[in-house]
Amino acid sequence: MLGKTIADLEAGDVFKPVRYVLTEESVSEYAHGQEDQAEWHYSPTFPYDRIVRPPTMIHADKMKILEANCDLERRVANVHTDDARIHYEYNCVQHSPAFVGEELVVTGGIAERYQKRGGDYLHYWLRVETAEGRLVTTYDDLTLLSYKPKAGVK
């Protein structure tokens, strides 16, 4: 735990890694949420004969690692701050598929934080590998922190 909210994160912060086993429930629900009917997200099928996750599930990995590290703002647990965030940029490179039943290790941190045109931007980096060390995904994410809801509104 970093003892921080997301808005407290700084360049150079390194997250405590998250390890978890990829489940059929999480893959099929995520695929359903993006309306991807490819059968390999729901049952073992050609060409892998295993259930494979959609590449964009890296976004759930970002939530997982923030949940495990920013103990003052845990959005999955519904612990929010008043600050609204705007996801600005998604940048994902897929190196190999990730399959249900595999243990995944998510590492990451803050590459930079900067001000531009009045905005406060946070640049995350993430890396996902299997427990055996096979690289699955690398990811960069740019989030605008400084968006504030209207005064007096929560």
Partner 1 sequence: MSVPTFSVGDVIAAPARPITLRRTGWYSIALMTAAAGEMKPIQRNIHTSEEVAASQGLPCPIADGMHTTNWISKLLTETFGHHYLERGALRTKYIKITPVGEPITCKLEITAAEPVPQGVKYVMDVWSQNSRGTKLTVGSASVVVSTP
Among all chains, which residue has been given the structure tokens 């993430």? 126
Under the binding rule (CB under 8 A), the answer on residue 132 touching partner 1 is no
DSSP tag of 129: E
3-class SS at 83? coil
Choose between 10 and 65: whose C-beta lies nearer to partner 1: 65
Q: In this chain, which stretch among 8-16, 95-103, 104-112, 121-129 interacts with partner 1, using CB under 8 A? A: 95-103
The least distance separating partner 1 from the CB of residue 103, rounded to whole angstroms, comes to 12
- Decide if residue 59 touches partner 1 (CB under 8 A): yes
Using CB under 8 A as the binding rule, whether residue 67 contacts partner 1 is answered as yes
Using CB under 8 A, pick the residue from 10, 11, 19, 29 that binds partner 1. Answer: 29
Instruction: List the structure tokens of 144.
Output: 């605008």
Q: Is 30 in the site for partner 1 (CB under 8 A)?
A: yes
- Binding residue (CB under 8 A) for partner 1 from 50, 56, 107, 130: 56
What do you get for the CA distance between the two ends of the chain, in Å? 26
**Residue 8's closest CA among 51, 50, 66, 65?**
66
In this chain, which of 9, 52, 104, 145 binds partner 1, going by CB under 8 A?
52
CA distances from 107 to 3, 62, 97, 124, 140 (A): 18, 9, 17, 11, 12
CA distance 94 to 90: 13
- Contact residues: partner 1, CB under 8 A: 20, 23, 25-27, 29-36, 38, 47-48, 52, 54-57, 59-60, 63-64, 67, 76, 78, 84, 86-97, 149-150, 153-154
